[in-house]
Chain A
Amino acid sequence: AQKVTQAQTEISVVEKEDVTLDCVYETRDTTYYLFWYKQPPSGELVFLIRRNSFDEQNEISGRYSWNFQKSTSSFNFTITASQVVDSAVYFCALSEGDNYGQNFVFGPGTRLSVLP
């Protein structure tokens, strides 16, 4: 069965520090999709990135970057020069490549607090 582990329950950093949120996944499928979502204190779930299993290129979007490594089954998320507005719970999610979201699984989340 598929599984997503986010070992860091809570992280606190001081503004402008870099921080990496870890995500390790398990799946038997060769085709799968990985996601990161952000849940700020206001409660909504905000999509950040989607990556399929055939695309191991790392991605950078502004201060955000993602490191996908199939060899270690990891899809880590780094925030550079963190800001107070980055404070949120971040979820990593995995979907296997079959139909209709049947196997869409979220990790337990990592609560990031960025202190001024």
Chain B
Amino acid sequence: DTAVSQTPKYLVTQMGNDKSIKCEQNLGHDTMYWYKQDSKKFLKIMFSYNNKELIINETVPNRFSPKSPDKAHLNLHINSLELGDSAVYFCASSQVSGGTQETQYFGPGTRLLVL
């Protein structure tokens, strides 16, 4: 019944480790996104995927790599985790119709803490 789901909800890990966050949407949307929310609540878009193509790639470190096996999934893989990566990561999806930006619906967030 959940529209956009993410796993895990919490992730605590050591510096230097590699981790992945999974995202799935059952809304039939064609575009998915990853956002990072820092401790001051600022939300910044990291990536978006449309029909398996990376559409935007903001100035995030290349340690972050989105992977989309199909249009219902967009996973986020992070290599060599650093302390500054600690944040809440949100997945979102929307239907992009003829260039119109439809509403983005968000997952519950993954709280990542790097020790």
Contacts and interface: CB of A to CB of B under 8 A. Distances in A.
B24 to A, nearest CB: 16
Nearest to A96: B101
A101 B42 contact: no
Given A35-B103, A43-B109, A44-B106, A101 B94 contact: yes
Interface in B12-64: 31, 33, 40-45, 48, 50, 55-56
Interface residues of A, number: 26
Contact of A91 (B43, B44, B92, B111): B43
B104 A101 contact: yes
Interface residues of B, number: 29
Contact of B108 (A44, A96, A97, A100): A44
B113 interface: no
A100 B50 contact: yes
A102 B48 contact: yes
Nearest to B42: A108
Contacts of A46: 106
Contacts of B100: 33, 97
Interface of B: 31, 33, 40-45, 48, 50, 55-56, 88, 90, 92, 94, 96, 99-109, 111
Closest 3 CB pairs of A and B: A45-B106, A95-B101, A106-B43
